[in-house]
């Protein structure tokens, strides 16, 4: 039986969490290994910020255990779970959690192939999700689908948001049609409608993960990162996605209320564009962890903080240095995975 048959569905990210899961970075896997100390500093800042709101479990390679334990010796809300892994993007290689009508949790174990086979080896990463679920005694469903958690968002009421660039890419599931992919998503996540955006942001090595381009703020409400420079590749991308969202209806038949958030100014590292996005924020209990970028982005940083505070007046907007992790290709949302709270 599939999770859907047992009343499981994926709750929205803003639902209450039991904890956040995050993996510690691996120097050998980094595109720019010389930045490892800075990246570790960024992770430490991020983990401490999340720990202000909820417990954090850090997945650590056994060889790094004592070093990382010393980093968080003064942060009691952080615990460590030794599991070998190749890379640190737990949103993508960790489990996706679902809950049943009676509040029981389960985890979806997707197939993982390092974003279409880009970064070998990935054998350890493909085994991270089963080990996490076994550690917590959570039921596991193995999905016959190559998927990454950053490639989709759900609204908790049956709607899933994704991009054609990623899910229909032949380097993921070339044997499956769009309709077959939709059916697998429905079976495992309990959704009934997929809204397909065209592309993700320029420079994104994940082949267009939606968590940089757009996200749900609530059922019926989507935040979209936009660009006002026609010479920027993201201008056409955002305009096309905006048209799609303006015409879309969700699983409940609602037209979407759209909130536009300006992108940060262009930035690069060693000649490669950095995919800067405020939408790579992360919901925590009572708050939002928001990457900001400083320097030339100070004005858009302020707009992002103000806009999110207006959208979420009951949540504390906690900013972190978004430049510390982005050189490895992702940001706050990419590193994290929420474990929903179980209902009694």
Kindly provide the residue ranges of all beta strands, DSSP E only, lying in 118-240, ordered along the sequence. Answer: 139-146, 152-154, 159-163, 193-197, 214-218, 221-226
- 30-46 pLDDT, tens digit per residue, is 777 788 899 999 999 99
Domains of the chain: residue spans and CATH: 3-340 (3.75.10.10)
State the Cα–Cα distance between residues 163 and 192, nearest whole angstrom: 16
Q: Which one, of 301, 275, 289, lies nearest residue 201 by Cα?
A: 275
- 121-166 pLDDT, tens digit per residue, is 999 999 999 999 999 999 999 999 999 999 999 999 999 999 999 9
- 187-239 pLDDT, tens digit per residue, is 999 999 999 999 999 999 999 999 999 999 999 999 999 999 999 999 999 99
State the Cα–Cα distance between residues 321 and 168, nearest whole angstrom: 33
290 neighbors 318 (Cβ within 8 angstroms) = yes
Select which of 40, 166, 227, 334 is catalytic: 334
Structure tokens, 199: 């592309």
Average pLDDT value over all residues in the chain: 96
Distances 189 to 32, 91, 105, 185, 252 between C-alpha atoms, Å = 35, 16, 12, 6, 16
What local confidence, expressed as pLDDT, does residue 281 receive? Answer: 98
Instruction: Tell me whether residue 334 is one of the annotated catalytic residues.
Output: yes
What local confidence, expressed as pLDDT, does residue 33 receive? Answer: 75
pTM higher than 0.85: yes
- 241-291 pLDDT, tens digit per residue, is 999 999 999 999 999 999 999 999 999 988 889 999 999 999 999 999 999
């Amino acid at each position: 039986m599939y999770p859907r048959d047992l009343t499981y569905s994926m709750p929205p990210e803003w639902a209450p969490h039991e904890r956040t899961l995050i993996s510690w970075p691996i120097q050998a896997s980094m595109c720019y290994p010389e930045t490892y100390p800075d990246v570790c500093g960024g992770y430490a800042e991020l983990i401490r910020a999340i720990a202000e709101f909820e417990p954090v479990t850090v997945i650590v390679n056994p060889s790094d255990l004592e070093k990382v334990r010393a980093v968080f010796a003064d942060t009691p809300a952080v615990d460590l779970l030794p599991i070998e892994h190749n890379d640190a993007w737990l949103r993508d290689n960790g489990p996706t959690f679902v809950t049943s009508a009676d509040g029981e949790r389960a985890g979806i174990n997707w197939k993982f192939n390092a974003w279409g086979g880009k970064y070998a080896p990935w054998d350890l990463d493909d085994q991270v999700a089963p080990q996490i679920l076994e550690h917590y005694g959570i039921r596991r469903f193995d999905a016959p689908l190559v998927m990454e958690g950053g490639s989709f968002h759900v609204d908790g009421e049956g709607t899933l948001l994704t991009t054609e660039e990623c899910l229909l890419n032949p380097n993921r599931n070339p044997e499956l049609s769009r309709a077959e992919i939709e059916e697998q998503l429905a079976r495992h996540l309990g959704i009934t409608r997929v809204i397909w955006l065209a592309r993700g942001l320029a420079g994104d090595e994940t082949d267009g993960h939606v968590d940089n381009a757009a996200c749900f703020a609530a059922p019926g409400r989507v935040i979209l990162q936009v660009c006002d420079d026609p010479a920027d590749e993201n201008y056409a991308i955002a305009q096309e996605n905006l048209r799609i969202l303006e015409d879309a209806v969700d699983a409940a038949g609602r037209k979407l209320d759209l909130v536009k958030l300006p992108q940060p100014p262009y930035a690069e590292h060693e000649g490669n564009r950095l995919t800067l996005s405020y939408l790579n924020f992360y919901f925590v209990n009572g708050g939002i962890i928001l990457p900001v970028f400083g320097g030339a982005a100070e004005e858009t940083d302020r707009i992002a903080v103000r806009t999110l505070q207006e959208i979420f007046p009951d949540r504390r907007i906690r900013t972190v240095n978004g430049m510390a992790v982005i050189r490895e290709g992702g940001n706050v949302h990419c590193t994290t995975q929420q474990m929903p709270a179980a209902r009694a």
